[in-house]
Structure 1
Amino acid sequence: MTENTHPLALARSARGMTGPDLAREIRAAAERRGLRSGADRQRVRKWEVAGITPDRESQEYIAEVFGVPLDEVDVKAWPNWLPDAGVIPLAPASTLPALREALRASMDRSRRTVLSAISGTALVTLAGAWATGTWSEATKRAQGKAIDEDFVALLEQTSTQLTTLATQQRQHTGPLLDAYLTTVTDLIAHGRYSPPLGIRLHALAASLSQTVAWHRFDHGLHGEASRFWIAGLHSTYASGDHDMGAAFLSDLAYQASWRDDPRTAARILERALTRTHHPAARSLLQLRLARSLAAQGERRATLRALSAAEHLLSTPTRDPVPGWCSWLSEADLAVDSGQSLNDLGETRRAHQLIEEGQALLPPSRDKTRGVFLAYRAKTHLALGEPDQAAAVATESLELAQRIGAPRCVALVHGLIPHFRGFSTAQGVPELLAKAAA
């Protein structure tokens, strides 16, 4: 069958929608206005295959479905105003389409396959556009209902409370955070606000997008996670927050490393570093860059990045540490340095650093402790200490299951095949049984 390359077909396919899905969403958009649309599967096919141009009303409904502002709909330019099927490019009016695409991608998973993560090439291109693009402030809206500043303050306060809960409680907040982000997106789209309030709304959308993205990432929903991180990047682009923009690129790079694509991670981070200012933020980026370089066996560049991360972390500054990297500490520096050295083959020194980092970690960071324990188990195995590895891996698994940290559980399960050669070592049978339960 010949692939349908019409921009409308590509745009809906990128969002996991069939022709009937699109027709149903168009009819729903009309109903929200108290009107009716005759859109059905056959009509969508005529637009996509026969080259028939939708009328003005249908194009406006299509724009609403895809999150495109009506003032960007040029009826005569159909289909050129449709959103790109891949990553939405950074632009002054790109925030809403990116946010709505991320939210839509998470809805009704039963009707589609799980979205794949964005390609490495597309992510590097996006990072390059961020590094070289012109920044623009979030503009005011002169139409719609006026937004009360006290209501925005309430959203900011409660969002902060939700995102700073302990991991054990935060596992229950996913639907609430989705709802908050949907509300903020609607306020940006339909509310009337001043430029300062607009910047606060974009900042709130960015913060919520980052938290929602990590929630998806922890549950292995990489396609959704990358789209929320990208939506957050668009929000920071609109508000001109360079360091927060770097946070989203750093998270996308972390995901690339996690998915065994360290080359993409390094290329993203190199671009992110060009516009990142705060020493703590630069330290985190250098630390993640070291991890990606070590995975590629680039020893000299890895050590250079680790040295930069250590220096930057201790660099004094009057500026407050950005919230997204305020958790970065000597513990993280030690453990990630250990992970980098382990990839370079320096297992014993790596193991020592990971142990030191775990000892420095505050009790409040349970999820991170579970991850660090899994790293320790890996180096114990590499050093030929299966009994100690089993004890540490079991502790990590039990902690992760108790607090609801599926990514940590996945780390331990990834180690299980390496334990099967030590089935008689102390603690290994018990670990295998717990992992299989």
Structure 2
Amino acid sequence: MAQEPDPPSFVVLPAEYEEPSLAGSGESEPARQVLPGRLTGLARHRWVRWAAAALTCVVAGGFLLVAVTSERDAARKVTPAARQPAPPVIAPAAPQQPWPQETGACGVQRFVPKVSAAPLRTSTGVRVQVGGQSVHTADLDARSVTAAPGLRLSSGQFVSQLVPGKDASYALVRPCEYTGTSSVLRITRDSSSLVMGSRHIESLLPDGRGGIWAVLVEDIATYGPVTLAQLPGPGVVRLPPGLAPIAIRGNRLIGLSSTAEDRSSPSSGALVSYDLASRRLGPRIGRASTLTVDRGELLWIDRPCSPLAKCTLHRYDLATGARTVRDYALPVETSIVGGVLNSDRTQLAFPLARIYEGQRVDYDGFGPPYDVAVLHLDTGALERIGGLQLPGTEMPGLTFSGDDWLVIALNQGRSTELLVWRSGQSRPLQPGVRIRDVMLRQPPVLALAS
């Protein structure tokens, strides 16, 4: 049997005992008394080591107990499947539904809008003209379509714009190639006649009094110089360099003053006035990031809409010069290009791009799909017309009738489909009128008096 070690000895020092000084320190410590029951140096060190070891064991045991208890409690709360996480499951991408396509004008494959409309079962009084390789008048109540008399265009020519004039409408005819020569036709109920041809005509601008001005561009690449020709005549006005006309009322022109680099955005720039009689620039009106003109009124948004601020919409009456400004809560990057007004100018209809997460260009080569939206300028409410989805490459033709029916013309490749809508309806109505004609791009549509 192993012999147990002797217990530590206790030595009681006399009160007058002094500790020897530390060698080489040159100093001595004051005398320290050891009271009865206190340990000497060696014994004291041993007990300190034992106490520290015991304390370490107690602390470690406490930590171990806490850890085991926490793990046991967590195991009670977690389901068995979560205790051993499974490898991540990657869901396959949903198959993308391609847009339907049809061969359209100039042999181009066009993406066809997706429509879910209800049948029209009420009288509307709507009559419209629609341009293509001819000009057709459609009566939605009579379900009839009539071609303009005497109008025959070649296979490579198309009506791209229709504007109202005095006792007639004027049609801008363009070829497949944008740089080709254009012509202007005057269309009445009984006849069609050539007014101007063999020029590059950018657009037609009504003057609000029954007259029409043709915008002639000599150099397409630099968009200049620009000349205005009055139809049927005789006025001709050469505009200052850098001025792009967008609206005319009498002798007063409103244009965008911008550099050649800004021509990629034809609806942005500084808005200025120009007097056609005196040939002088007037005061600056404002600055637009997007604009539209309809029913004698110019509307523009001064800066791109953002999530942090409302859109500021400016309205300018071309006849009186009266201006109004109001903020609206509109989606990001809202553009009002191609927008049209109703008869009392309280509703603005325009194509509106959907907001979605993902790439800006999708598998078909263009951006997000479009809706047709109507902004109520008096209340600020925004209505999106359901049952209609437009590809980003195919904008609709829009016009309001005198009774505030919104007419939507859709390019279906080899024909044009007409839809109507009124405020409060969840989706458009289908009158069953389809025009069997080929459109160059966006179908030009013009509401006629009932």
TM-score range normalised by the length of the shorter chain: under 0.3
Superposition TM-score, scaled by structure 1 size: 0.24
Identify the structure with the greater strand proportion. Answer: 2
Bigger Rg over Cα: 2
Question: Which one has the bigger helix percentage?
Answer: 1
